[in-house]
Amino acid sequence: MQRKFKAGILGATGAVGQKFIEVLTNHPWFEISVLAASERSAGKKYRDAVNWIGSKPIPTEVADLEVVEAKPGFDADVVFSGLDANVAEEIERDFAAAGYPVVSNARNYRMKDDVPLLIPEVNPDHTKLIERQSWGSSGYIVTNPNCSTVGLVTALRPLVDAFGVEVVQVVTMQALSGAGYPGVASLDALGNVVPYIGGEEEKMQTEPLKLLGKLEDGRVSPASIAISAHCNRVPVLEGHTEAVSVKLGQKVDAADVREVFKNYRSPIADLGLPSAPDPLFEIFDDQRFPQPRRHVELGNGMKVSIGRIRNCPVFDVKFVLLVHNTIRGAAGGAVLNAELLVKQGYLVHRETTVAVGA
Amino acid sequence: MQRKFKAGILGATGAVGQKFIEVLTNHPWFEISVLAASERSAGKKYRDAVNWIGSKPIPTEVADLEVVEAKPGFDADVVFSGLDANVAEEIERDFAAAGYPVVSNARNYRMKDDVPLLIPEVNPDHTKLIERQSWGSSGYIVTNPNCSTVGLVTALRPLVDAFGVEVVQVVTMQALSGAGYPGVASLDALGNVVPYIGGEEEKMQTEPLKLLGKLEDGRVSPASIAISAHCNRVPVLEGHTEAVSVKLGQKVDAADVREVFKNYRSPIADLGLPSAPDPLFEIFDDQRFPQPRRHVELGNGMKVSIGRIRNCPVFDVKFVLLVHNTIRGAAGGAVLNAELLVKQGYLVHRETTVAVGA
Amino acid sequence: MQRKFKAGILGATGAVGQKFIEVLTNHPWFEISVLAASERSAGKKYRDAVNWIGSKPIPTEVADLEVVEAKPGFDADVVFSGLDANVAEEIERDFAAAGYPVVSNARNYRMKDDVPLLIPEVNPDHTKLIERQSWGSSGYIVTNPNCSTVGLVTALRPLVDAFGVEVVQVVTMQALSGAGYPGVASLDALGNVVPYIGGEEEKMQTEPLKLLGKLEDGRVSPASIAISAHCNRVPVLEGHTEAVSVKLGQKVDAADVREVFKNYRSPIADLGLPSAPDPLFEIFDDQRFPQPRRHVELGNGMKVSIGRIRNCPVFDVKFVLLVHNTIRGAAGGAVLNAELLVKQGYLVHRETTVAVGA
Amino acid sequence: MQRKFKAGILGATGAVGQKFIEVLTNHPWFEISVLAASERSAGKKYRDAVNWIGSKPIPTEVADLEVVEAKPGFDADVVFSGLDANVAEEIERDFAAAGYPVVSNARNYRMKDDVPLLIPEVNPDHTKLIERQSWGSSGYIVTNPNCSTVGLVTALRPLVDAFGVEVVQVVTMQALSGAGYPGVASLDALGNVVPYIGGEEEKMQTEPLKLLGKLEDGRVSPASIAISAHCNRVPVLEGHTEAVSVKLGQKVDAADVREVFKNYRSPIADLGLPSAPDPLFEIFDDQRFPQPRRHVELGNGMKVSIGRIRNCPVFDVKFVLLVHNTIRGAAGGAVLNAELLVKQGYLVHRETTVAVGA
């Protein structure tokens, strides 16, 4: 790949926007061309507009970029959206209508019929839904799921394929970073568990059905799985831990499930996507693992770690998984989506198109 | 009650022993007469023998008591055992054989056929098992369950009575204090989740069956409930939070379950036991609650807090509960057991007996 | 004391207001008569207006009180102000002008010439400044210092008396609760130190000079001590820890300083004020102490804990102190101020006055 | 540099040994040839012998290495010692006597007259002391200072050079990782400050005098600075924060001090040592910084971050610094020492010597 794709970031000063910058810096296929945010930030240097919360410094490449307003018109082959849900609907629509591929982390269009809700390792064929979108332009929208859904569904995929999945009980212990900044008050976080995250359980109970659904006649028919989720906030910085119990379509043993995870090759395993971890899963036999502090960064935050695979006295099998909520569960997942779009030919250098259109 | 019962504490310098001291100080029915610990501590003043970990100071009444070795012979109407499992078996047996009532928090005798595994609000009639014990003396052993079992079973009791319970999925988020001192290393605890606690899931999957079992012909026939537990350690000081999903014997709604909890009167509600909270449950309608930092001390740490009662897409109902693991789940629970034994006539002033025996 | 004084609380829904409620509930001299807050809360039941952050439940006595607006006119013998600094100036003035004694935790009037900045154990005679206030009524304002100042100055008082104090270097490690709610974002708090608290160092460098100043001819002439402060936020819920180095007026040894602390009797030690701890200081010889988690509640949060008293290679002596920032350093300190005002005759039953005035 | 130096690690399974592995993996000049630990670990694969505590996985290059006993005889051009102080004295002496350069993080030989206590940016000429060592071989020992000393002295160096330094008051807020594993119990760490770290204050008050001393006639004459330290443990994973107040040899302003830090070029700045950060200092003007969570990884953990440079009402200037305690303050600092030794010709390929000796 000779020439990099120009990437604009919408909501660049927010928590997700900052992660997009981290993930896209030094990316082999993309380069950040535009940082867009609200009117209030527009015109400032990025370093002055942002309250940078990460533990790595602002990349020097972007620190002095001037922030622009989040309106179509700037030079980008793709825009990554880290916008808040309360503004994403309108702005993303505007960009799609203006011909931009929009790769979004916002929840607004996730469940829309013709918008792919995408995890490349899970449902790479769902990108075909793009062709049904009609924004009056060559633009389109692709979304990634909620951060806690990502870990769960990625782990379910091989089980669905090998045995079928009928019922899922999942209890999450989610990191503070998932709430953005300032997010959770420290008096609610320190030494505490908050057993509620607004809207989270609903997402975990519905998004997986679309993700694991079959594309038939250009439409996704949702999977038929009963899912129940309890979502909790715990005092962890990065990394959602999930305790999962699964009723499978066949009577199998924990050892069989372990084998399936261990040997799993995802449908995109051989595409050479730069952000795709290989192998996809890190499997632990040490009962104490995975743990967010120790393992959240595996595969540059793109792996799904799985441990404690054992028989379940109620269903068939239970296990623990860990997913990096702001990398794999947000910015990194979106960038992997864009990589797949490049590989599939949906994401191209835009100026060509423009030239043709002119 | 005119004269207080003399209470000896076994394992008085350990984490549970310290909690026994906290709970028994200023108790209306008991007074601490003896602090017993290992040979290493014997002969020292308690204040010098103990590494006191609590946030309240050592009660002045006991600070200067001389620690004695944990051997029968001292003056006590009852002994409370906070011994480690690796020494509890032998020492508790010796005390029972020497004629002492032993009210133990250790796990060793919990599943023994003729030893009551007791939560007064759940199975007060199980104390009748005492009469089947034969230590060659008037002594006996009564145990309380594992700390995470206590919260679960207390909440299940009214559901079993009202609707029947068939299946339980429970995921715990347990406090650091449950591991004693020094317990969990801070590098494993801070900003982390450890998805494994040795032996805990087994206890949660078996102890409830005895606790909820029926006493028939002097024996407990275990309840028939399928239970699956995931146990996790989270960075919380005190208070186990548990996410519970339950399949009931009847099709009912979350609102019905809420009513049952709200109106519940336990079988000991009217006995006037000093440590029994009234009402037993604290029910929250605010979705953010219960939380360990805010609610663990309710009812002096003896209440079970329940919130987020809602329908479950997989089973019938799900909810969150919170239990104070070192009070209700350990020392406070044991003291409540002893209060019940007093009320039932199993625990009496021992010197009388001795006089008679002489 | 037969009849209790009626106490109004200004800013009752805020973090400090909540602590006032905790401290005044079951107080032997005061009873809460009015909860006042902003217009937005007025008219609601307190339980509905407040986001209660404490670990003890809302006292039942106040849960159903109707919140009123913070305007003079209600029935109270004294008002305690937990108002934010941005509204306190005007509202407190209005109450003083309307004849109420205002016992304030806000910073606005602390350094005003005729307003006592008061710690009863440190400068009880400064209340005489009240007589110089002229609000056109019998009302007046008395303030307590900043939370981190309180611990420092209380510890300095006996050293000033015994040896003289010339120079103080102090570095604080302050609790999150000092920032109120929502206060510090959890992403800034968890596993982190924030080496800056706006305005805090200035307060610690100036307030002690007024507190330790001499009342001469009805005015306070400030003490002459050079003070340098570094203020840091650490992930602790309650309790400011302070590392203090002091240059004394005489060459003495750490052992002498320990003796002075150990034997100290404050000027109010014999007045029988209900909130005054006795002794004032808790002195630790165990080098690991004091610690916020273990010792912040000593004396119901009103003691100042001191440990690690040792010689300083640069000045004369250094030590560590711990003070409960929202009790002794805020609401509890203010209530102790009011107790002193009662004892000195400045705080009386107001309706008498009103009757006379009518 | 064509051929890499073979590096042995003593105490390879310990907390510091693990950091040595992290820092030496992919090092351009060194390659790990031997992992040595106690008898108990010898013979096992490293992955089985170690309780790996880091957040990055065990490097694959070393995971399957067989651990050997920490005895001379193995093939290494240099040994890095992460041994505990209770065994380091004897083992390091044995290696030096057997002809190995020993680059140690242990405290045992730090204050020995002829052993360099070395920070390359501070006193690179002190390596000349090596020539006075006499172990009966070509071996020698070089040490790095205590982790909290490193940050302080690195920051003092330019101030000593520019203005002279007479008095230092320093209060540390130190990370949990400094205590190794299991180290601090979580019940002592979570939401707490421990105001004492055994031996730490003594080291901070003495080591800087040797580090900042002048090499004259082959000996170090200690600097003449009065230093007073308070050392505290706070709930932070990595990174010691230090609040420093300094009395300089000249009356200067905070702005002058800032300039000196900002423009500082260390004596090794141009040597091209791979681990040396450039610039050495990260200077913050945002008052909230530096913070351990955000900034500890700057310069791969080798920078010293400085902020809040301001005038001190007691001395001349005060500021806050942050140092990565297990990288710059331990393993990374030791490796930088070894790099300097290579550059200065003290560290060479050993087999040559062996060949000659054969």
Residue D158 CA to residue D310 CA, distance in Å, equals: 16
- Residues facing residue D174 across a β-bridge: D233
Taking only residues 203 to 262 of chain A, the set having a beta carbon closer than 8 angstroms to any beta carbon of chain D reads 237
Whether the Cβ atoms of residue D127 and residue D116 lie closer than 8 Å to each other: yes
Measured CA to CA in angstroms, residue D43 lies from B306, D35, D36, D64 at distances of: 53, 11, 10, 11
B14 CB contacts (<8 Å, ≥6 apart)? B37, B82, B83, B84, B180, B181
Percent of chain B with pLDDT over 70: 97
What residues of B are in contact with residue C297 (Cβ under 8 Å)? 55-56
Q: Does D57 touch chain A (CB under 8 A)?
A: yes
Residue C353 pLDDT greater than 90, yes or no: no
Domains of chain A: 5-144+331-357 (3.40.50.720), 147-325 (3.30.360.10)
Q: Does D60 touch chain A (CB under 8 A)?
A: no
Structure confidence at residue A167 (pLDDT): 98
Structure confidence at residue C355 (pLDDT): 36
* The token pair that represents B89 in the structure block: 């078996």
pLDDT band at B358 (very low <50, low <70, confident <90, very high): very low
Neighbours of D313 (CB within 10 A): 16
Structure confidence at residue D351 (pLDDT): 67
The verdict on a CB contact (< 8 Å) between D293 and C191 is yes
The verdict on a CB contact (< 8 Å) between A193 and B236 is yes
Could you tell me which chain C residue has the CA closest to the CA of A177? C187
Residue D350 pLDDT greater than 90, yes or no: no
Lowest mean pLDDT, pick from A123-127, A290-294, B1-5? B1-5
Residue D192 CA to residue D173 CA, distance in Å, equals: 12
| Of residues C92, C20, C59, the one with CA closest to residue C332 | C20
CA distance D26 to chain B (A): 26
Q: Does C313 touch chain B (CB under 8 A)?
A: no
Whether the Cβ atoms of residue B242 and residue B170 lie closer than 8 Å to each other: yes
pLDDT tens, residue by residue, B16-54: 999 999 999 999 999 999 999 999 999 999 999 999 998
* The token pair that represents A245 in the structure block: 């119990």
Residue B353 pLDDT greater than 80, yes or no: no
Could you tell me which chain C residue has the CA closest to the CA of A293? C191
pLDDT band at B129 (very low <50, low <70, confident <90, very high): very high
Residue B357 pLDDT greater than 80, yes or no: no
Whether the Cβ atoms of residue C92 and residue C334 lie closer than 8 Å to each other: no
The length of chain D in residues reads 358
pLDDT, mean over chain C: 96
The 3-state secondary structure of A238-259, one letter per residue: CCEEEEEEEEECCCCCHHHHHH
pLDDT tens, residue by residue, C219-243: 999 999 999 999 999 999 999 999 9
Residue B92 CA to residue B106 CA, distance in Å, equals: 9
Percent of chain A with pLDDT over 70: 97
Average pLDDT on D220-245 reads 98
CA distance D325 to chain B (A): 14
pLDDT band at B351 (very low <50, low <70, confident <90, very high): low
Q: Does B288 touch chain C (CB under 8 A)?
A: no
CA distance B22 to chain C (A): 14
Structure confidence at residue C208 (pLDDT): 98
pLDDT band at B56 (very low <50, low <70, confident <90, very high): confident
pLDDT tens, residue by residue, C255-311: 999 999 999 999 999 999 999 999 999 999 999 999 999 999 999 999 999 999 999
CA distance B54 to chain D (A): 10
Alpha-carbon torsion, ordered C56, C57, C62, C68, to 10 deg: 90
Query: What SS3 state is found at C206?
Result: helix
The verdict on a CB contact (< 8 Å) between C54 and B294 is yes
Question: Residues A126, A231, A240, A324: which is the catalytic one?
Answer: A240
pLDDT tens, residue by residue, A51-83: 999 888 899 999 999 999 999 999 999 999 999
Neighbors of chain D with 3 or more C-beta pairs under 8 Å: A, B, C
D235 CB contacts (<8 Å, ≥6 apart)? B186, B190, C191, C234, C235, C236, D176, D189, D190, D191, D192
Average pLDDT on D209-228 reads 97
Structure confidence at residue A353 (pLDDT): 46
Average pLDDT on D333-349 reads 98
Residue A1 pLDDT greater than 90, yes or no: no
Residue C102 pLDDT greater than 50, yes or no: yes
ipTM for this model = 0.95
Percent of chain B with pLDDT over 90: 96
Q: Does A57 touch chain D (CB under 8 A)?
A: yes
pLDDT tens, residue by residue, D49-68: 999 998 888 999 999 999 99
Residue D200 pLDDT greater than 90, yes or no: yes
Residue C356 pLDDT greater than 80, yes or no: no
The verdict on a CB contact (< 8 Å) between C176 and A190 is yes
Could you tell me which chain B residue has the CA closest to the CA of A288? B196
Neighbors of chain C with 3 or more C-beta pairs under 8 Å: A, B, D
Amino acid B3 reads R
Q: Does D187 touch chain B (CB under 8 A)?
A: yes
Indicate which of B170, B294, B310, B314 best probes the interface with A, i.e. most A CBs within 10 Å of its own CB. B314
Neighbors of chain B with 3 or more C-beta pairs under 8 Å: A, C, D
The verdict on a CB contact (< 8 Å) between C177 and A187 is yes
Q: Does C189 touch chain A (CB under 8 A)?
A: yes
The verdict on a CB contact (< 8 Å) between D243 and C171 is yes
Residue B212 pLDDT greater than 50, yes or no: yes
Structure confidence at residue C1 (pLDDT): 54
* The token pair that represents A260 in the structure block: 């399936």
Selecting from C53, C184, C190 the residue whose C-beta is nearest the C-beta of A237 gives C190
Measured CA to CA in angstroms, residue B53 lies from A62, A255, B58, C288 at distances of: 50, 42, 9, 12
The verdict on a CB contact (< 8 Å) between C187 and A235 is no
Structure confidence at residue A350 (pLDDT): 80
Structure confidence at residue A351 (pLDDT): 67
Structure confidence at residue D2 (pLDDT): 74
Could you tell me which chain B residue has the CA closest to the CA of C53? B294
Average pLDDT on D75-80 reads 98
Q: Does A56 touch chain D (CB under 8 A)?
A: yes
A175 CB contacts (<8 Å, ≥6 apart)? A234, A236, A237, A238, A239, A240, A292, A325
Could you tell me which chain A residue has the CA closest to the CA of B288? A196
pLDDT band at B325 (very low <50, low <70, confident <90, very high): very high
The verdict on a CB contact (< 8 Å) between C237 and A190 is yes
Structure confidence at residue A56 (pLDDT): 85
pLDDT, mean over chain D: 96
Tell me the catalytic residues of B: 147, 240
How would DSSP label each residue in C15-78? Answer: HHHHHHHHHHTT-SSEEEEEEEE-TTTTTSBHHHH----SSSPPPHHHHTPBPEES-TTS--SE
Whether the Cβ atoms of residue A165 and residue A156 lie closer than 8 Å to each other: yes
Q: Does A3 touch chain D (CB under 8 A)?
A: no
Determine whether A231 is an active site residue: no
CA distance A190 to chain C (A): 7
The verdict on a CB contact (< 8 Å) between B235 and D177 is no
Selecting from D177, D182, D191 the residue whose C-beta is nearest the C-beta of B182 gives D182
CA distance B249 to chain C (A): 35
Structure confidence at residue D297 (pLDDT): 95
